[in-house]
Amino acid sequence: MRKINLGIIGFGNVGAGVIKILREKKSLLSEKIGIEINVKKVCDKDIISKRNVSVDKALLTRNPKDILDDPQIDIVVELVGGINPAKEFITSALNKGKHVVTANKALLAQDGQELLSLADDRGKNIYFEASVGAGIPIIKSVREGLVANNFKSVYGIVNGTSNFILSRMSENNCTFNQALKEAQEKGFAEKDPTLDIEGIDSCHKLVLLTYLCFGRFIKISDVFVEGISKISTADVCYANEIGLQIKLLAIAKKEGNDLEVRVHPTLIPKSSLLASVSGVFNAIYVDSDLAGDLLFYGPGSGQLIVQDKTIRNLRSTDDFESRYYIRFMALDKPGVLAKISGVLAKFGISIASVTQKEHRKAHVVPIVMIIHQAKEKNLRLALAAISRLDVIKEAAVAIRMEEI
């Protein structure tokens, strides 16, 4: 039986997990693919600390060159994370004629075009299935199973931490901070959760999804990003009352010949399949011309990409159009609603519905509005003007709405 030798760089929790799976599933993998997968070398700065899997000391090294320079190693598995030295390891592996497996979404989002181009020049592949959606087979499905399709839009719940927090806020009527604390206690959130709750992790994954579905590598800076840290229990409750659910969505969709890419909290109908995705689960919804609407769902914690040549530009953030939910905290006095609606009208924004909620704090009440389709630029200008009114006591919360 043919044997494939792996060199693993990075022996933390993920690296230990990879070795454990390869060991436990060795016979099954050999039976299914007709190849023996052999871990020939494992590299890490720390080769002394105990892991949940035992490895022969002869396989361990602190020097990555023992893997990169070994002509018998066919595939390098990069599990270091971050940008450098991970990029140097991948570049060196490709230059030395080795295939690469990585789940490093931050690196691929920043330098993926350069690295994939190098792999193509060297006749090698970079496999990155686990970089988006963990175990969900979205990348292979788009690359191979849906290769003949043109995509109209992609909507993804691709960060388990944020989805867990929003789910808890909706199900348990708890605050953002309470839900975050629970996520950290359960190990679903890092001590510093910024990458997750501010949408940065979702942004990295959206860059890769956009490349896979539309064949265009975009810059991280091209993505409009807004996190969930400003979402309150009140916003979640108001959404529930009108049959909507708040989700942090990574969105890429075609509008004519333009492509818009954004990550932000989004109000979607409770009837939507994405609305039912709870806890740390991820889901990716794609709208394609041949296969139709597809949903890929699962736990979140040599390439063939077709370029969509009808896309000419990335749409400016100012030109994004959406319906919006807006919550104002205003003084409870006559004429307040007229002042707010007057400013909105000045910027061409029309109101679909208004609800004024009672509030226990004296003289300050929440005013919840749903507005018709409006441009992002006009909304931001309007909100800035409204914030300067003497009757407004807190920054407004605006959440975009999507019909999925």
Kindly list the structural domains of the chain, giving each domain's residue range(s) and its CATH number in brackets, ordered by start: 2-131 (3.40.50.720), 138-315 (3.30.360.10), 319-401 (3.30.70.260)
245-294: per-residue pLDDT in tens? 999 999 999 988 899 999 999 999 999 999 999 999 999 999 999 999 99
CA distances to 22, 38, 78, 203, 376 from 26, rounded to whole Å, are 5, 9, 20, 35, 53
Report the C-alpha gap between 373 and 7 in whole angstroms. 53
Residues of the chain scoring pLDDT < 70: 300-307, 358-362
Q: Which two tokens stand for residue 341?
A: 């609606």
pLDDT, position 309: 72
Task: Indicate the residue type of 381.
Answer: L
Catalytic-residue membership of 205: yes
Catalytic residue among 40, 87, 205, 247: 205
Write down the pLDDT at residue 360.
Answer: 58
What's the rounded Cα separation, in Å, for the pair 21 and 105?
21
